[in-house]
């Protein structure tokens, strides 16, 4: 990025305008509207505009917002910067920065803090998960240092925002609002993003005889040695959400769950299931480890080799701040034996900046499910598409216990919607939607079913 020095002098030295109680809200009587903002690396560098909120609904009902137009041929790191924030140091009260964004595409948003002479440890980037609506993103600067005293006075003096850190083939317009320190997050006067779930995870519908459960109020659980191994990089709390037990992982980089003393024989199961809720991560991974019949665990005399296959899920497609149910075919854990599963490892990005709630961790046999529905379904379910892998068509079945508005959409792994299969009112019942991928490239796709407050997501593989 070019070194751009602004000349704004309206703020006295050591006056922290950008602070916990002084958001950059672009209002006439607030902060940001009359600051000097410099646009950089954006071809002709169109000025940052302060405009009426084009979508004063949902998470952000403020009157004014900033409009940034990312040129099609602008740099991936095009953005805007100001020294209107005054000067300040990071401390225990101001190491979290939140920002409201409205974007039509899924891509990284970056925030960088600089000293007066340009000293910086670089930007922190987080991708939005929603499109065409306001969303609050949280950036954790707890691992960052203040500028060195020599030449910088040990203080930050510039705020730089990269709204569309992305190689774009078209012009993208991004709206930005309500940049603030701290955990509050006012959401531009319209209520910020939630930081924990207020409703329980969806109740599983698989019959108990077809389930091996590690953690779920719906089933009897097997013996679990620990839900947080000593080698984990996270903290764990047992919590209750709407009367339902859940696990809360904070500052999650990675966390291990172990059933070493009583390994799970999942050879008769077809899927691994878990429900996840988070307000701030952008990526989530699941790893299953089978110690094998001879490998065993190195701590109990085995050679510790076993199978070790990681299956990655990228949470850029489903909406955050809602429970998302993941039904992972065990066949997707390529080459992994399933007779002695003993470790279950979850991880998140950005590392140590994510709080993740987990519920309903279990294996199940989808082949034993009775698909002959003689009455209305008693649960909201999204089935694995069939056939899978497919070329070029497949079918997606889902069950609705109550009538209402429903959407079934397909996304690529970049979070871009490629097709809408269902969008409208549906009566309670069982449905099947056909998906024709004739015009799409081979690869993994994600399909998401939303009905009221219920949401489920699954993956499918197109092979041409």
Whether the pLDDT of residue 309 is over 90: the answer is: no
Whether the pLDDT of residue 42 is over 70: the answer is: yes
Predicted confidence band of residue 21 (pLDDT cuts 50, 70, 90): low
Whether the pLDDT of residue 286 is over 90: the answer is: no
Question: Do residues 49 and 172 share a domain?
Answer: yes
| Bridging pattern class, strands 443-451 and 454-462 | antiparallel
The residues near 419 (Cβ < 8 Å, ≥ 6 apart) are: 409, 410, 435
Range(s) of the domain holding residue 57? 38-189
**For the chain, how many structural domains are there in total?**
3
Cβ atoms 156, 113 nearer than 8 A: yes
Instruction: Please give the structure tokens belonging to residue 108.
Output: 């990284």
Question: Do residues 153 and 240 share a domain?
Answer: no
The residues near 73 (Cβ < 8 Å, ≥ 6 apart) are: 43
Cβ atoms 455, 448 nearer than 8 A: yes
DSSP percent split of the chain into helix, strand, coil, nearest 5: 5, 45, 50
Task: Give a yes or no: residue 451 inside a domain.
Answer: yes
pLDDT average, residue stretch 224-229: 95
Question: Do residues 330 and 400 share a domain?
Answer: no
Question: Do residues 349 and 218 share a domain?
Answer: yes
Question: Do residues 346 and 442 share a domain?
Answer: no
Question: Do residues 353 and 251 share a domain?
Answer: yes
Q: Which of 431, 367, 423 is nearest to 395 (CA)?
A: 431
Whether the pLDDT of residue 39 is over 90: the answer is: yes
Q: Give the pLDDT of residue 443.
A: 84
Q: How far is CA 412 from the centre of its chain?
A: 15
Of 22-26, 86-90, 292-296, the poorest mean pLDDT is in 292-296
Q: Which residue has the tokens 């779930």?
A: 197
Q: Give the pLDDT of residue 193.
A: 40
Cβ atoms 303, 295 nearer than 8 A: yes
Task: Give a yes or no: residue 242 inside a domain.
Answer: yes
Q: pTM above the 0.85 mark?
A: no
**Cα–Cα distance for residue pair 445/460, rounded to 1 Å:** 5
Of 30-34, 230-234, 330-334, 338-342, the poorest mean pLDDT is in 330-334
Q: Which residue has the tokens 């590690």?
A: 214
List of E strands, 365-414: 381-382, 393-400, 404-412
Choose the final residue of a domain: 334, 368, 402.
368
Predicted confidence band of residue 318 (pLDDT cuts 50, 70, 90): very low
Whether the pLDDT of residue 311 is over 80: the answer is: no
Question: Do residues 153 and 105 share a domain?
Answer: yes
Task: Give a yes or no: residue 31 inside a domain.
Answer: no
Cβ atoms 204, 360 nearer than 8 A: yes
Q: Which of 151, 152, 175 is nearest to 163 (CA)?
A: 175
Q: Which residue has the tokens 């991708």?
A: 127
Whether the pLDDT of residue 364 is over 50: the answer is: yes
Question: Do residues 331 and 401 share a domain?
Answer: no
Question: Do residues 362 and 215 share a domain?
Answer: yes
Whether the pLDDT of residue 424 is over 90: the answer is: no
Task: Give a yes or no: residue 251 inside a domain.
Answer: yes
Q: Give the pLDDT of residue 403.
A: 78
Whether the pLDDT of residue 295 is over 50: the answer is: no
Q: Give the pLDDT of residue 371.
A: 41
274 torsion bin: left (phi>0), alpha (psi -120 to 50), beta (else): beta
Q: Give the pLDDT of residue 43.
A: 94
Predicted confidence band of residue 1 (pLDDT cuts 50, 70, 90): very low
Task: Give a yes or no: residue 10 inside a domain.
Answer: no
Task: Give a yes or no: residue 249 inside a domain.
Answer: yes
Choose the final residue of a domain: 309, 338, 368.
368
Please report, for residues 143, 153, 168, 185, the alpha-carbon distance to residue 146 in angstroms, rounded to integers and kept in the order given.
10, 10, 33, 23
Task: Give a yes or no: residue 23 inside a domain.
Answer: no
Q: Give the pLDDT of residue 314.
A: 53
Of 134-143, 154-163, 361-370, 407-416, the poorest mean pLDDT is in 361-370
Q: How far is CA 387 from the centre of its chain?
A: 28
Cβ atoms 41, 60 nearer than 8 A: no
Instruction: Please give the structure tokens belonging to residue 208.
Output: 């108990």
Cβ atoms 27, 14 nearer than 8 A: no
Of 251-260, 309-318, 379-388, 447-456, the poorest mean pLDDT is in 309-318
Task: Give a yes or no: residue 449 inside a domain.
Answer: yes
Sign of the dihedral through C-alpha 453, 286, 279, 70: negative
CATH code at 273?
Answer: 2.60.120.430
pLDDT tens digits for 182-199?
A: 654 444 433 334 467 888
Instruction: Please give the structure tokens belonging to residue 64.
Output: 């004014």
Q: Which of 124, 100, 128 is nearest to 193 (CA)?
A: 100
pLDDT cut 90: percent of the chain above it: 32
Strand partners, 406: 424, 451
Q: Give the pLDDT of residue 184.
A: 43
* Angle, CA 65 vertex, CA 59 and CA 68 arms, to 5°: 115
**Cα–Cα distance for residue pair 7/16, rounded to 1 Å:** 17
Question: Do residues 361 and 226 share a domain?
Answer: yes
Choose the final residue of a domain: 161, 189, 217.
189
pLDDT average, residue stretch 343-369: 84
CATH code at 103?
Answer: 2.60.120.260
Whether the pLDDT of residue 143 is over 90: the answer is: no
Whether the pLDDT of residue 322 is over 80: the answer is: no
Question: Do residues 170 and 42 share a domain?
Answer: yes
CATH code at 438?
Answer: 2.60.40.1930
Q: How far is CA 309 from the centre of its chain?
A: 22
Predicted confidence band of residue 323 (pLDDT cuts 50, 70, 90): confident
Average pLDDT for the chain: 80
Whether the pLDDT of residue 119 is over 50: the answer is: yes
Q: Give the pLDDT of residue 199.
A: 83
Question: Do residues 325 and 351 share a domain?
Answer: yes
């Amino acid at each position: 990025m070019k070194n751009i020095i602004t000349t704004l002098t309206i703020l006295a030295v050591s006056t922290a305008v950008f602070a916990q109680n002084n958001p950059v809200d672009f209002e006439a009587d607030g902060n940001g509207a009359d600051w000097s903002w410099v646009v950089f690396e954006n071809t002709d560098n169109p000025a940052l505009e302060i405009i009426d909120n084009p979508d004063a609904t949902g998470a952000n009902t403020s009157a004014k917002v900033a409009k940034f137009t990312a040129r099609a041929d602008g740099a991936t790191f095009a953005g805007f910067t100001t020294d209107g924030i005054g000067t300040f140091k990071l401390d225990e009260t101001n190491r979290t920065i939140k920002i409201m964004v409205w974007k039509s595409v899924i891509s990284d948003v970056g925030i960088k803090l600089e000293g007066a002479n340009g000293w910086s440890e670089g930007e922190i980037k987080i991708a939005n998960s929603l499109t065409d609506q306001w969303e609050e993103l949280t950036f954790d600067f707890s691992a960052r240092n203040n500028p060195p005293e020599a030449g910088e006075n040990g203080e930050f003096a510039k705020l730089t925002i990269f709204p569309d850190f992305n190689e774009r083939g078209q012009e993208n317009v991004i709206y930005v609002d309500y940049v603030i320190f701290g955990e509050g997050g006012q959401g531009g006067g319209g209520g910020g993003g939630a930081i924990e779930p207020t409703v329980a995870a969806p109740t599983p519908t698989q019959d108990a005889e077809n389930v091996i459960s590690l953690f779920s109020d719906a089933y009897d659980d097997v013996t679990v040695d620990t839900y947080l191994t000593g080698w984990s990089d996270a903290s764990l709390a047992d919590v209750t959400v709407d009367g339902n037990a859940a696990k809360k992982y904070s500052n999650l980089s990675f966390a291990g769950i172990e059933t070493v003393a009583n390994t799970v024989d999942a050879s008769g199961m077809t899927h691994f299931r878990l429900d996840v809720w988070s307000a701030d991560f952008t990526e989530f991974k699941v790893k299953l480890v089978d110690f094998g019949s001879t490998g065993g665990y190195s701590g109990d005399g085995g050679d510790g080799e076993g199978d070790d296959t990681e299956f990655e899920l990228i949470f850029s497609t489903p909406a955050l701040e809602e429970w998302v149910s993941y039904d992972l075919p065990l066949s997707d854990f390529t080459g992994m034996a399933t007779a002695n599963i003993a470790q279950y490892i979850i991880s998140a990005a950005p590392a140590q900046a994510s709080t993740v709630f987990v519920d309903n961790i279990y294996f199940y046999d989808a082949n034993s499910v009775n698909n002959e529905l003689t009455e209305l379904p008693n649960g909201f379910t999204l089935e694995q598409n069939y056939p899978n892998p497919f070329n070029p068509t497949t079918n997606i079945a889902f069950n609705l216990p109550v009538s209402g508005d429903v959407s079934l959409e397909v996304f690529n792994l970049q979070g871009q919607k490629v097709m809408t299969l269902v969008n409208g009112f549906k009566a309670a019942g069982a449905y099947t939607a056909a998906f024709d991928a004739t015009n799409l490239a081979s690869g993994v796709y994600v399909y998401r079913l939303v009905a009221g407050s219920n949401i489920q997501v699954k993956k499918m593989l197109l092979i041409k």
